[in-house]
């Protein structure tokens, strides 16, 4: 028994005070080696090659302010379009109970995890095929449409989760007091959705401001943003100081978007909302439901369906020539070989991302102090740094290392994991925060050490969230295109990199192979997302039966 006035110390608490700072060092060390080091090498090299020009002079000669305005405008336009397109889908998923809702959520989510190069190929096929009459072709309209397709899922997940947290009794009270359904929505529901809408807008703005593959494929050689100009200055012209100066401006833009998202809401992936208040459609209520389903088909299904059909009709004739070309090894590894490598490296990357992300989330939720906060900050920063900049930094950093290190098969998975870690942290922090502290204390009182408590309590209660996070990490890893482009060799060519290479080669056969490879990647991503939805969707509670 503790004496009066003395604090009761639970068994294992002192050990936990030591363990938490120790596990915080792992994410910090990983982020330092895999993220800070290549960027530091790039910046140092840029200063060495500098001709004495100041940062302002570098911005002036690269027309950085114009590029910043163009990048911000296209990102804001894409984010606004994504919010508008997502609005009816949010209503459907947040208020209506439909059979096959899990499949519908998977259809909405798949575009977000597709590689940007695949999305570019899909929309190029769409605008040159079924929508050729619209004369969209290349340019900003095509880019914004593709960005909207990619990011609708962000808005849907963030805003629908906020809508499902609105107490339906408040809406019912407004209706009882005489408010019409639209008035009740405006007065009760909408004010609670505004922070989520602004947060989703900021996140889409962030993703679109660093877009590369879509702009390269759909820009028609004329659309230019900070991201594409960084690539042009660094790789095309070999002007490192100019590329680094543009990267600094881009980081400021991205940090502003992240700050806006943090200010008005959380950037974490929200947990699935409760389906208890969803109402099945009856009678005339099926009309708006059918309209929204058609809306989803037009925006999210049509581009992929067009890509699938085009892959089966290369040159206007039905056939499997594109898929047979996937086995071709004329220019190097076949597409099937690249797919095998992509899956293998994606699995390694998912394992690394889960390990580092879970340690980061655990340290943050257990009060790891300043070390864990620094590690968490570094784990999120890759969202805001140009993939082109990161890849270029890797090329310079690895060139100074022994061949055994630079040629290691773990380089690509580590880079892919770096992109996926923010997703793991975003999913697991809210999941771990919901674990009752009393359960941990009870396990400690019964003699369980910190690791045993973590294994039997935390992981057991958050296993479904962790499985979903691992699935998303895998599909993000196999779809990474920007940084991996710089690191790919003959034996480490991922499927997205191969698709980009095929798109750059002349000839209808290469285009057919690129479309077929894109369809294969879509199928893999869709299968994983469907599995994630099946694992993470809340199971219906069984009703108690009388004996």
User: What would the pLDDT profile of 322-346 be if each residue is shown by its tens digit?
Assistant: 898 888 887 777 888 898 999 999 9
**Torsions phi, psi for 281 (to 5 deg):** -75, 140
- Is residue 3 over pLDDT 50? no
Cβ neighbours around 181 below 10 Å, total: 10
Q: Is 96 helix (H, G, I), strand (E, B) or coil?
A: strand
- Is residue 56 over pLDDT 80? yes
Contact 357, 428 (CB under 8 A): yes
Average pLDDT over residues 498-514: 83
First to last CA, the chain: 45
Instruction: Say which range, 73-82, 336-345, 360-369, has the weakest mean pLDDT.
Output: 360-369
In a domain, 254, yes or no: yes
Q: What is the pLDDT of residue 376?
A: 64
In a domain, 292, yes or no: yes
Q: What is the pLDDT of residue 5?
A: 42
Which among 148, 125, 147 has a CA at the least distance from the CA of 137?
Answer: 125
Q: Tell me the β-bridge partners of 96.
A: 279
Instruction: Say which range, 266-275, 356-365, 426-435, 438-447, has the weakest mean pLDDT.
Output: 266-275
Which among 223, 310, 247, 307 has a CA at the least distance from the CA of 482?
Answer: 247
Contact 439, 457 (CB under 8 A): yes
In a domain, 411, yes or no: no
Rounded CA-CA distance 312/307 in Å is 9
Domain count, the chain: 1
In a domain, 320, yes or no: no
Helices 370-380 and 13-31: angle between axes, nearest 10 degrees? 30
Residue entry with tokens 């960027």: 39
Q: What H or E segment, with its residue span, contains residue 136?
A: none
Average pLDDT over residues 408-430: 84
Average pLDDT over residues 451-465: 86
Q: What H or E segment, with its residue span, contains residue 546?
A: none
In a domain, 211, yes or no: yes
Q: What is the Cα 466 distance to its own chain's centre?
A: 16
Rounded CA-CA distance 120/216 in Å is 8
The pLDDT tens digits of the residues spanning 382-403 come to 766 777 778 878 888 888 888 8
| DSSP 8-state secondary structure symbol assigned to residue 32 | I
Quick one: tokens of 324?
A: 């047979």
Cβ neighbours around 438 below 10 Å, total: 8
Query: With DSSP H G I counted as helix, E B as strand and the rest as coil, what are the percentages for the chain, rounded to 5?
Result: 75, 0, 25
Contact 250, 205 (CB under 8 A): no
- Where does the pLDDT of residue 264 fall: very low under 50, low under 70, confident under 90, or very high at 90 and above? low
Q: What is the dihedral of CA 145, 148, 149, 153, to 10 degrees?
A: -170
What lies within 8 Å, CB to CB, of 337 at 6+ separation is 329
Rounded CA-CA distance 527/522 in Å is 8
DSSP H stretches of helix in 265-385: 286-296, 302-312, 321-324, 335-365, 370-380
Q: What percentage of the chain exceeds 70 in pLDDT?
A: 87
How many residues in the chain? 547
Q: What is the pLDDT of residue 545?
A: 41
Contact 274, 538 (CB under 8 A): yes
The pLDDT tens digits of the residues spanning 164-201 come to 888 888 888 888 888 888 888 888 888 889 888 988 89
Range of the domain at 261: 53-154+198-312
Average pLDDT over residues 241-265: 76
In a domain, 66, yes or no: yes
Contact 19, 362 (CB under 8 A): no
Contact 97, 275 (CB under 8 A): yes
Contact 294, 113 (CB under 8 A): no
Cβ neighbours around 275 below 10 Å, total: 14
CA angle 191, 192, 197 (to 5 degrees): 90
Average pLDDT over residues 461-466: 88
In a domain, 100, yes or no: yes
Give the DSSP per-residue string, 208-253: HHT--HHHHHHSTTT---HHHHHHIIIIIS--HHHHHHHHHHHHHH
Contact 102, 539 (CB under 8 A): no
Q: Is 495 helix (H, G, I), strand (E, B) or coil?
A: helix
In a domain, 342, yes or no: no
Q: What is the pLDDT of residue 269?
A: 46
Give the DSSP per-residue string, 162-186: HHHTS-HHHHHHHHHTT--HHHHII
Q: What is the pLDDT of residue 539?
A: 55
Please tell me the number of Cα atoms within 13 Å of 403 on its side-chain side: 0
We report the CATH number of the domain holding residue 75 as 1.10.3720.10
Q: Is 189 helix (H, G, I), strand (E, B) or coil?
A: helix
The whole-model pTM stands at 0.82
């Amino acid at each position: 028994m503790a004496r009066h006035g003395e604090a009761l110390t639970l068994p294992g608490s002192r050990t936990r005070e030591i363990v938490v700072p120790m596990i915080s060092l792992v994410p910090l060390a990983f982020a330092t080696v895999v993220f800070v080091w290549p960027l530091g090498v790039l910046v140092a090299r840029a200063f060495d090659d500098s001709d004495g020009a100041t940062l302002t002079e570098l911005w002036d000669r690269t027309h950085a302010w114009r590029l910043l305005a163009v990048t911000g405008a296209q990102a804001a336009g894409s984010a606004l379009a994504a919010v508008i397109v997502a609005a009816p889908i949010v209503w459907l998923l947040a208020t209506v109970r439909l059979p096959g809702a899990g499949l519908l959520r998977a259809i909405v989510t798949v575009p977000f995890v597709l590689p940007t190069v695949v999305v570019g190929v899909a929309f190029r096929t769409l605008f040159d095929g079924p929508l050729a009459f619209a004369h969209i072709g290349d340019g900003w309209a095509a880019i914004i449409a593709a960005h909207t397709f990619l990011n609708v899922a962000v808005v849907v997940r963030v805003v629908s989760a906020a809508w499902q947290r609105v107490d339906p009794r408040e809406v019912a009270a407004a209706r009882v007091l005489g408010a019409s359904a639209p008035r009740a929505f405006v007065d009760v529901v909408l004010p609670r959705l505004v922070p989520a809408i602004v947060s989703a807008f900021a996140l889409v703005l962030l993703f679109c401001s660093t877009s590369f593959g879509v702009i390269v494929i759909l820009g028609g050689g004329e659309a230019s943003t900070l991201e594409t100009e960084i690539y042009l200055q660094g790789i095309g012209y070999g002007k490192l100081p100019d590329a680094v100066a543009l990267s600094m401006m881009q980081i400021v833009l991205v940090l502003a978007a992240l700050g806006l998202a943090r200010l008005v809401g959380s950037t974490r992936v929200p947990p699935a909302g409760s389906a208890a208040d969803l109402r099945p459609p009856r009678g005339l209520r099926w009309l708006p439901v059918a309209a929204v389903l058609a809306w989803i088909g037009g925006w999210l299904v049509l581009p992929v369906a067009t890509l699938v059909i085009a892959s089966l009709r290369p040159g206007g004739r039905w056939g499997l020539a594109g898929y047979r070309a996937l086995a071709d090894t004329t220019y190097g590894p076949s597409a099937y070989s690249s797919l095998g490598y992509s899956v293998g490296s994606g699995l390694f990357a998912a394992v690394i991302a889960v390990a580092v992300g879970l340690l980061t989330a655990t340290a943050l939720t257990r009060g790891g102090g300043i070390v864990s906060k620094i590690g968490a900050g570094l784990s999120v920063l890759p969202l805001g740094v140009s993939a082109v900049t990161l890849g270029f930094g890797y090329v310079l950093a690895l060139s100074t290392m022994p061949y055994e290190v630079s040629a290691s098969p773990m380089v690509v998975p580590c880079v892919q994991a770096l992109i996926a870690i923010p997703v793991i942290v975003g999913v697991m922090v809210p999941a771990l925060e919901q674990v009752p502290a009393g359960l941990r204390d009870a396990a400690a009182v019964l003699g369980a050490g910190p690791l045993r408590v973590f294994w039997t309590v935390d992981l057991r209660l958050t296993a479904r969230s962790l499985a979903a996070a691992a699935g998303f990490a895998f599909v993000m890893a196999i779809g990474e295109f920007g940084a991996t482009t710089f690191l790919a060799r003959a034996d480490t060519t991922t499927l997205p990199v191969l698709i980009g290479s095929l798109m750059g080669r002349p000839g209808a056969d290469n285009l057919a192979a690129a479309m077929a490879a894109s369809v294969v990647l879509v199928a893999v991503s869709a299968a994983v997302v469907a599995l994630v939805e099946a694992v993470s969707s809340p199971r219906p509670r069984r009703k108690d039966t009388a004996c």
